[in-house]
């Protein structure tokens, strides 16, 4: 009893700091093993990069979210069409500007229409054009650098000096007219680029400077975006051609081809053999003099020797049928010892359609 402390509470309080130091030291050792991400690593993980270009490749969580929304089928023939467009534009713009023009294809990508409208760098001129045969619209965007460069070249600006840009004012009538002429040249080249594939006329509908007034599709709709770079020595800019998938839907099968004229598994030899066999196939043809409808009781009461009166005369026409399909009409007669039918009318339209479907 003499060895026990006089005040147990003081003994407990004195022991508490020892236990507290053990807990704190364990927490400090655990925290030192954890690595804290900096802001750049967090942005990369989430997929937010302020330095990336609009419409560029995204990473992280944003790439996972957008992968199901902007991933569409590849159209191989469309790449060939736009390669042809680049060659045509190089020649036509050289003739249009009387200057050394180089046109290059930056990239072809899929994008949602709403995302593209939000990514357009302003000021710019947006040309809404109509694809006549496809019964839909497209969008051609000319950036400000190219607008001032074209105006400078067409109005006799000196070479070797950058085009002067005046910010904060709308485009003048002269600038809009000159850009419109250039857009019409590009659309004519686009029509010629699509010509080997299908005949499409692109006609300019209107020019806009506000993206909200150039809405030709719903924001969530998919579209093909083609970026073209135009260089005129030390001047130039970019043209962006946007075609909604709805516009390309009527010619989608053609754009899926790997090369021009691909038949997607059709065999011409087999088609020719099948047509030859069909022409040599025999079929049963019936000559129908007349048809009547009788009651079931009257049919059951028929006996040997009963006579059925037909509503036909010796001069009545006979209908020739193949199964239930009427082929033509003729007149019944006799040739040698056989009863014959002379055809008096061409094949019926229904019979022609049946023959075409069989071929």
What is the third-level CATH fold of 268-292+313-358?
Surface presentation of antigens (SPOA) (2.30.330)
Question: Residue 198 has what pLDDT?
Answer: 85
Question: Residue 15 has what pLDDT?
Answer: 46
3-class DSSP state of 329: strand
Question: Residue 127 has what pLDDT?
Answer: 93
Determine the Cα–Cα distance for residues 163 and 236; give it in Å rounded to an integer: 9
Residue with tokens 């357009």: 120
Reported confidence tier of residue 266, pLDDT bands at 50, 70, 90: low
Reported confidence tier of residue 73, pLDDT bands at 50, 70, 90: low
Question: Residue 3 has what pLDDT?
Answer: 52
Averaged confidence pLDDT in the chain: 79
Which of 167, 160, 163 has the alpha carbon at shortest distance from 151?
163
Residue 263 has pLDDT above 80, yes or no: no
One DSSP character per residue, 72-139 reads ----HHHHHHHHHHHHHHHHHHHHHHTS--EEEEEEEEEEEHHHHHHHPPSSEEEEEEEETTTTEEEE
Same fold for the domain at 72-255 and the one at 268-292+313-358? no
Question: Residue 18 has what pLDDT?
Answer: 46
Question: Residue 26 has what pLDDT?
Answer: 44
Reported confidence tier of residue 65, pLDDT bands at 50, 70, 90: low
Question: Residue 314 has what pLDDT?
Answer: 78
For the four alpha carbons of 341, 343, 349 and 355, in that order, the dihedral sign comes to positive
Domain extents for the chain? 35-69, 72-255, 268-292+313-358
Residue 261 has pLDDT above 50, yes or no: yes
Question: Residue 228 has what pLDDT?
Answer: 93
Q: What is the pLDDT of residues 94-150, one digit of tens each?
A: 999 888 889 999 888 888 898 898 888 888 899 999 999 888 999 999 998 899 888
Reported confidence tier of residue 339, pLDDT bands at 50, 70, 90: confident
Instruction: Taking residues 87-97, report their average pLDDT.
Output: 92
Instruction: Taking residues 52-76, report their average pLDDT.
Output: 56
Instruction: Taking residues 2-15, report their average pLDDT.
Output: 49
Question: Residue 22 has what pLDDT?
Answer: 47
CATH H-level superfamily of 72-255:
CheC-like (3.40.1550.10)
């Amino acid at each position: 009893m003499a060895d026990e402390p006089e005040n147990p509470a003081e003994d407990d309080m004195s022991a508490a700091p020892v236990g507290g130091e053990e807990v704190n030291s364990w927490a400090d050792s655990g925290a030192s093993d954890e690595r804290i991400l900096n802001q750049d690593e967090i942005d990369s993980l989430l997929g937010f990069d302020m330095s990336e270009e609009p419409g560029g490749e995204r990473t992280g969580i944003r790439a996972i979210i957008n992968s199901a929304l902007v991933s569409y089928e590849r159209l191989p023939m469309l790449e060939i069409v736009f390669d042809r467009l680049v060659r045509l534009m190089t020649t036509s713009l050289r003739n249009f500007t009387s200057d050394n023009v180089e046109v290059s294809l930056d990239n072809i990508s899929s994008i949602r229409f709403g995302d593209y409208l939000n990514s357009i760098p302003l000021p710019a001129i947006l040309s809404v054009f109509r694809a006549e045969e496809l019964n839909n619209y497209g969008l051609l965007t000319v950036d400000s650098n190219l607008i001032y460069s074209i105006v400078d070249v067409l109005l006799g600006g000196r070479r070797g000096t950058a085009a002067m840009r005046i910010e904060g004012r709308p485009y003048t009538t002269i600038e809009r007219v000159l850009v419109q002429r250039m857009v019409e040249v590009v659309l004519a080249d686009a029509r010629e680029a699509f010509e080997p594939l299908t005949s499409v006329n692109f006609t300019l509908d209107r020019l806009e400077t506000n993206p909200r007034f150039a809405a030709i599709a719903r924001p969530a709709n998919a579209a093909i975006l083609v970026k073209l770079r135009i260089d005129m020595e030390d001047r130039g800019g970019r043209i962006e051609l946007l075609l909604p998938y709805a516009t390309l839907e009527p010619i989608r099968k053609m754009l899926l081809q790997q090369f021009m004229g691909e038949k997607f598994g059709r065999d011409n030899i087999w088609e020719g053999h099948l047509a030859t066999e069909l022409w040599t196939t025999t079929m049963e043809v019936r000559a129908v003099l007349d048809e009547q409808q009788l009651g079931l009781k009257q049919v059951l009461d028929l006996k040997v020797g009963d006579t059925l009166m037909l509503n036909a005369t010796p001069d009545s026409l006979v209908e020739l049928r193949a199964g239930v399909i009427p082929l033509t009409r003729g007149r019944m007669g006799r040739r040698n010892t056989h009863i014959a039918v002379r055809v008096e009318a061409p094949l019926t339209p229904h019979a022609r359609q049946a023959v075409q479907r069989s071929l």
